[in-house]
Amino acid sequence: MSTSKPTENRLWGGRFTGATDPLMDLYNASLPYDKKMFDADLEGTRVYTRGLNKIKLINDEELAAIHNGLDEIKKEWIAGTFEEKAGDEDIHTANERRLGELIGKHIAGKVHTGRSRNDQVVTDMRIFVRQDLEQLLKHLGNFIVSLTKRAREEIDVLMPGYTHLQRAQPIRWAHWLSSYATYFTNDYKRLQQVLERVNECPLGAGALAGHPYGIDRDFLSEELGFSRPIGNSLTAVSDRDFVVETMFWASLFMNHISRFSEDLILYSTAEFGFVQLADAYSTGSSLMPQKKNPDSLELLRGKSGRVFGALSGFLMSTKSIPSTYNKDMQEDKEPLFDTLTTVQHSVLIATGVISTLKINAQRMKGALTMDMLATDLADYLVRKGVPFRETHHISGECVRMAEVSNLSGIDKLSLSQFKEIDSRFESDVMSVFDFEVSVERRTAIGGTAKSAVLDQLSKLESIVNK
């Protein structure tokens, strides 16, 4: 098999005299997907060389030349004119090779003093992931606000609440919106916690054993916007928990977005008819002209599996890695980057869906049936001093009598029929059969009464606004 020629710009090339298999070059390369970290890599080098300048390993003139070169490289990446060359196995190699072309290899060769790709790559990743998660946090906050805003505007709309996908009790549409806003606000708080752990600095740890020239790692950490240096150099270069945790977070979020989507898919069917998606988030059928398919929601539901798979795959890649850095860790970027992109897009799509869909308040109200007030009937007797276990049985007998009497609901039973079942029923029993009264009785924290829902919304908004 033919082999490629050795290239001078490999960061590890001095030990090797032979060429590598060209397929190995392709197999080893990560530039096609890690070049999106170009800015993080350049910023890491900018700060690292300032650290070298502080300990007199780079003089002021060299530092200025390096930084001018880094500025030029950044312009090329932004403009799309950066020329990738054979031997550029990753973004770090590519940037350092280009720096040598711009300012000379003698000066450019100093930027890697005391630094390894082991601490360089994970520094780049932490910077990149931090930036992505900060942006994602803003998008998620906007999504939560879109849910709470809609809930406030449509606070008076009633609908069935479901358990086992069976009509259970009447609730407010705003209560349903608040329930998912609660899930997503918990995701929001968890993401803040993930960001804290992502935001730790590995730079200056070297290959694994630490920095041989006593570089100021607190300085590097502060200048790069990290909260602190990672306290153990072995851990610093090999820790990918921040990748796993980010994908854990993403998986849980996508689980929530999938459930949210499933509800809306059901509610948009002709059988429910509660909501209608905007045309911007729907498609038609290639065969049936009457169809309006909720493709946006189905994609949100489907892409959850993609994110779950990325997490599972990467966990399998890392479960048996010995300390410290091993090349297996290169498998972190593709699943992580794909996960971040998928989640980012999912939040934006979900925000668009919930901001533009129309509701059919009449269909929601029309889906309420009097049998859903059976618990309220039991509560009626509880307020008269009857134990709930007894009232539950009595209410069930009322439902059965309405059925055997071919009545349309328990509200159609006469007072005499109620008294036949239990003498403690009085004429005021008919006040039970009011959906608005039912929801307004549930004023305890978390309930579906208007005051309770508004309180939920205020608390959720305060978390996001803070």
pLDDT score of 44 more than 80? yes
pLDDT the model gives residue 3: 42
* Percentage above 90 pLDDT, the chain: 88
Is the Cβ–Cβ distance between 374 and 393 less than 8 Å?
no
Do residues 10 and 96 touch, judged by C-beta distance below 8 A?
no
Quote the pLDDT of residue 112.
95
**Is-catalytic flag, 285?**
yes
Confidence of residue 283 (pLDDT cuts 50, 70, 90): confident
Q: How far apart (Å, rounded) are the C-alpha atoms in residues 224 and 206?
A: 17
Give the pLDDT band of residue 27 (cuts 50, 70, 90): low
What contacts 110, CB < 8 A, 6 or more positions away?
Answer: 49, 52, 57, 58, 62, 66
Q: According to the model, what pLDDT value does residue 18 have?
A: 53
pLDDT band per the 50, 70, 90 thresholds, residue 29:
confident
The pLDDT of residue 331 is above 70: yes
Beta bridge partners of 162: 167
- At 25, the pLDDT band (50, 70, 90 cuts) reads low
Domains of the chain: 25-108 (1.10.275.10), 117-366 (1.20.200.10), 370-465 (1.10.40.30)
| Contact by Cβ (8 Å): 339, 247 | yes
Q: Which amino acid is at 179?
A: S
Residue tagged active-site, from 106, 146, 268, 285: 285
Q: Assess whether 431 carries a catalytic annotation.
A: no
Cβ-contact 122, 94 below 8 angstroms: no
pLDDT at 12: 44
| pLDDT in the model for residue 1 | 39
What is the C-alpha separation between 183 and 420, in angstroms, rounded? Answer: 46
- The residue-averaged pLDDT of 204-217 equals 97
For residue 447, give both structure tokens. 């309930």
Q: How confident is the model at residue 76 (pLDDT cuts 50, 70, 90)?
A: very high
Report d(CA 318, CA 361) in Å as an integer: 51
**Identity of the amino acid at 280:** A
Q: What is the pLDDT of residue 289?
A: 57
**Which tokens is 244 given?**
């796993």
User: If you search the block for the tokens 């397929």, which residue do you land on?
Assistant: 23
Q: Decide if pLDDT at 96 tops 90.
A: yes
Active-site option among 2, 106, 164, 427 = 164
The per-residue pLDDT for 292 is 81
Amino acid at 405: S
DSSP state letters, 237-299: HH--HHHHHHHHHHHHHHHHHHHHHHHHHHHTSTTT--EE--GGG-B--SS-TT--B-HHHHH
Closest among 395, 435, 410 to 156, alpha carbons compared: 435
**Residues in Cβ contact with 303 at an 8 Å cutoff, skipping those fewer than 6 apart:** 254, 342, 346
Structure tokens, 42: 């350049």
